[in-house]
């Protein structure tokens, strides 16, 4: 208790030197508050955006190189594509945070009439068999082909309901395999209601030829569609492109019927987008895909540049803050040690008297350390307040400069999503989202940052106090008193 009370009195006795030390401590603590708050908030914001962003993987064939190779070899190989089995297997990768998969199957509804079907039949008239492109690239006439009149869609079709393009008119969304949603127009045209059964037939393009698979479905709900039916230059909307003819189901409903034919399942469209946990995982994800047997002509790229462009100002601000913090801590600690040594030398007679009175070295050091502790505690309270007030304006100014410095960054050009249709590939005409650089950082001085500031302050104070007093207490009391100026 004596040590504490004496240290408290000494703060008042030595006002000049203590005010100077306090100003240095206050500058260091205030700077530490600003820089650590910026650094920790920036780290948290980057982590949050990284989790929410999910680097999008773009998988598309190297068309130019593929056709050059095909022209050189003379082979009529089909354009490389992901199989359904590879698509589903890649979705289970440990590097994938999430994925968006839509599987579309052209099918024929037994005993059903779909919108636009009568017009299509009138146009076709008594035309003969159906001609399609085979795996060898040749056009072949086939007889085992079921002319589709609707589309069975499984997967992530919910976005149309989320943005208001469609609403649930009656019933509920599919909960189990085999349950589907149909449009109100399709239900009224065929006098269908919730709970009725549907039988669909679809074509499967396998290596041995065309086979037919059946779907036994149950209507779980009816939706109302507010989007245009579609567009066609033929005077009517073909049934397979009319949005009111879409039967909505889960991926399992569409895929599980295929059984062991996943590798050859080319009778459907796949629209898949993968999202990585971290943009840096692209190389590992591609290596996993190659080991799985994914065609070498398929190129893997990502929109990681979008993420880095988005967080570039924050990353730059964080680096500036970290550099400034390091410089301040190094210079501040050196200045504190020098000032403490000078002030302790001025008090060496006081130390000599205390030692001559029988006070042990440890208690002398403890008394001087307690003085520094009390001074640091006062500076901490004031410094935390001042730092909290000026941190946001300083951050805004620095961030504005960083945004201007990164304003010329360009986004990665995204060619779209890859679709697999029977024997070929095409790309969706979808606008790539643009990610604006983060131009605002709302600083928060949380408990973790405060603990770091307190810890740094205590370490600096301890190093300054101990380093200056240990040397002084090596002298004997008599020698210190004899050397008094």
* Band of pLDDT at residue 1, cut at 50, 70 and 90: low
As a whole number, mean pLDDT of residues 326-343 equals 83
Name which residue leads in pLDDT, 50 or 419. Answer: 50
Considering the domain boundaries, does residue 74 fall inside one? Answer: no
pLDDT digits (tens, 9 = 90+) for 141-200: 444 567 888 999 988 888 889 888 999 999 999 989 999 999 999 999 999 999 999 999
Q: Which residue has the tokens 């973790």?
A: 448
Q: Which residues contact 184 (CB under 8 A, 6 or more apart)?
A: 169, 222, 223, 224, 225
Token output for 250: 């889960």
Q: What is the pTM of this model?
A: 0.52
pLDDT, one tens digit per residue, over 400-455 is 888 777 665 444 344 333 333 333 333 333 434 456 777 778 887 888 888 988 88
Tell whether 80 is covered by a domain.
Answer: no
Closest CA to 349 of 175, 450, 159, 480: 480
Q: Given a cut of 90, is residue 275 above it in pLDDT?
A: no
Query: Where in the sequence is the domain holding 239, given as residue range(s)?
Result: 97-277
Number of domains in the chain: 2
CA-to-CA dists, residue 70 to 24, 78, 83, 272, angstroms: 74, 10, 21, 26
CA torsion, ordered 121, 127, 129, 130, to nearest 10 deg: -60
The answer to whether position 469 is within a domain reads yes
Beta bridge partners of 206: 209
- Which region among 104-113, 272-281, 306-315 has the lowest average model confidence (pLDDT)? 306-315
Residue 92 lies in a domain: no
**Is residue 386 located within the same domain as residue 440?**
yes
> CA triplet 118, 123, 124: central angle to 5 degrees?
100
Angle at 277 between CA 275 and CA 280, to 5 degrees: 100
Of the residues 253, 277, 301, the one at which a domain ends:
277
Whether 367 maps to a domain, the answer reads: yes
Secondary element (H or E) of residue 45: helix 15-53
Mean pLDDT in residue range 245-260: 81
Q: Are residues 182 and 91 in contact, defined by beta-carbon separation less than 8 angstroms? A: no
Chain-centre distance for alpha carbon 334: 42
Tell me whether residue 217 is in a domain. Answer: yes
- CA-to-CA distance for 1 and 367, rounded, in angstroms? 10
- The answer to whether residues 380 and 473 belong to one domain is yes
In angstroms, the CA 408 to CA 228 distance is 39
Per-residue pLDDT, averaged over 238-253, amounts to: 89
Which of 112, 115, 188 has the alpha carbon at shortest distance from 146?
A: 112
Residue 243 lies in a domain: yes
In a domain, 326, yes or no: yes
pLDDT of residue 101: 83
pLDDT band per the 50, 70, 90 thresholds, residue 261: low
Do 123 and 235 lie in one domain? The reply is yes
Tell me the pairing of strands 269-276 and 298-302: unpaired
Question: Is the separation of the CB atoms in 386 and 22 below 8 Å?
Answer: no
Per-residue model confidence (pLDDT) at position 128: 43
Count of residues making up the chain: 485
Q: Do 186 and 248 lie in a common domain?
A: yes
Q: CA dihedral in degrees (344, 348, 353, 356; nearest 10)?
A: 110
Classified as helix, coil or strand, 218 is: strand
In this structure, the answer to whether residues 347 and 222 fall within a common structural domain is: no
DSSP of 86-149: HHHHHHT-TTEEEEEEEEEEEEEETT---TTHHHHHHHHTT---EEEE-TTS-EEEESS-----
Listed residue (52, 95, 164) closest to 435, CA to CA:
52
* pLDDT value of position 465: 73
The tens digit of pLDDT for each residue in 88-121 reads 888 889 988 888 888 888 889 998 999 888 887 7
Centroid of chain to Cα 69: 37
* Structure-block tokens of residue 192: 């269908």
Token code pair at residue 435: 């990610």
**How high is the pLDDT of residue 125?**
60
The separation between the first and the last C-alpha atoms of the chain, rounded to the nearest angstrom, is 32
**Residue 102 CB neighbours (<10 A):** 19
Residues 272 and 364 in one domain: no
Nearest to 221 by CA among 248, 199, 188, 251: 248
Q: What pLDDT is stored for residue 412 in this prediction? A: 39
- Whether residues 322 and 395 fall in one domain: yes
14, 120: one domain: no
Average pLDDT of every residue of the chain = 76
Q: What distance lies between CA 409 and its chain's CA centroid? A: 19
Does residue 338 sit in the same domain as residue 477? yes
The answer on 372 and 254 residing in a single domain is no
Q: What is the CA radius of gyration of the chain?
A: 37
> Model confidence at 4, in pLDDT bands (50, 70, 90)?
low
**How much is the pLDDT for 210?**
64
Shared domain check, 206 and 142? yes
Question: Phi and psi of 100, rounded to 5°?
Answer: -120, 115
CA gap 140, 417 in Å, rounded: 29
471/426 same-domain check = yes
């Amino acid at each position: 208790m004596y040590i504490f009370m004496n240290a408290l009195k000494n703060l008042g006795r030595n006002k000049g030197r203590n005010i100077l030390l306090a100003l240095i401590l206050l500058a260091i603590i205030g700077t530490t508050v600003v820089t650590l708050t910026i650094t920790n908030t920036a780290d948290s914001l980057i982590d949050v955006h990284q989790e929410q962003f999910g680097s999008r993987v773009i998988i598309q064939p190297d068309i130019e190189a593929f056709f050059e190779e095909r022209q050189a070899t003379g082979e009529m190989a089909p354009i490389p594509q992901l199989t359904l089995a590879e698509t589903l297997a890649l979705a289970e990768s440990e590097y994938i945070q999430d994925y968006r998969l839509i599987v579309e199957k052209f099918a024929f509804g037994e005993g059903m009439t779909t919108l636009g079907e009568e017009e299509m039949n009138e146009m076709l008239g008594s035309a003969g068999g159906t001609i399609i492109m085979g795996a060898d690239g040749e056009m072949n006439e086939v007889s085992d082909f079921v002319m589709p009149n609707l589309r069975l869609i499984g997967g992530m079709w919910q976005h149309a309901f989320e943005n208001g393009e469609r609403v649930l008119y009656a019933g509920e969304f599919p909960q189990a395999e085999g349950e589907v949603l149909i449009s109100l127009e399709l239900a009224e045209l065929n006098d269908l209601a919730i709970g009725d059964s549907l039988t669909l037939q679809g074509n499967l393009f396998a290596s041995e030829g065309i086979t037919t698979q059946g779907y036994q479905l149950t209507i779980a709900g009816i939706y109302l569609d507010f989007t245009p039916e579609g567009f066609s230059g033929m005077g009517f909307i073909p049934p397979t492109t009319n949005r009111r003819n879409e039967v909505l189901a889960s991926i399992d409903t569409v895929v599980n019927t295929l059984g062991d034919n996943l590798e050859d399942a080319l009778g459907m469209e796949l629209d898949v987008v993968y999202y990585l946990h971290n943009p840096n995982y692209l190389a590992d994800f591609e290596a996993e895909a190659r080991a799985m047997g994914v065609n070498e002509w398929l190129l893997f790229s990502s929109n990681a540049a979008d993420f880095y462009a988005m967080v570039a100002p924050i990353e730059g601000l964080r680096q500036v803050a970290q550099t400034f913090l390091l410089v301040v801590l190094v210079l501040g600690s050196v200045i504190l040690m020098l000032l403490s040594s000078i002030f302790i030398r001025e008090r060496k007679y006081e130390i000599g008297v205390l030692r001559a009175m029988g006070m042990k070295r440890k208690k002398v050091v403890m008394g001087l350390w307690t003085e520094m502790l009390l001074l640091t505690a006062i500076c901490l309270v004031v410094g935390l307040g001042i730092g909290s007030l000026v941190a946001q304006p300083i951050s805004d100014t620095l961030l504005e400069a960083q945004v201007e410095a990164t304003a010329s960054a360009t986004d990665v050009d995204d060619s779209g999503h890859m679709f697999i249709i029977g024997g070929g590939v095409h790309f969706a005409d979808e606008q790539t989202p643009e990610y604006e650089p983060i131009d605002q950082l709302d600083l928060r001085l949380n408990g973790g940052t405060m603990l770091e500031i307190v810890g740094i302050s205590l370490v600096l104070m301890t190093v300054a106090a101990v380093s200056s007093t240990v040397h002084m207490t090596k002298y004997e009391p008599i020698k210190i008193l004899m050397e008094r100026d």
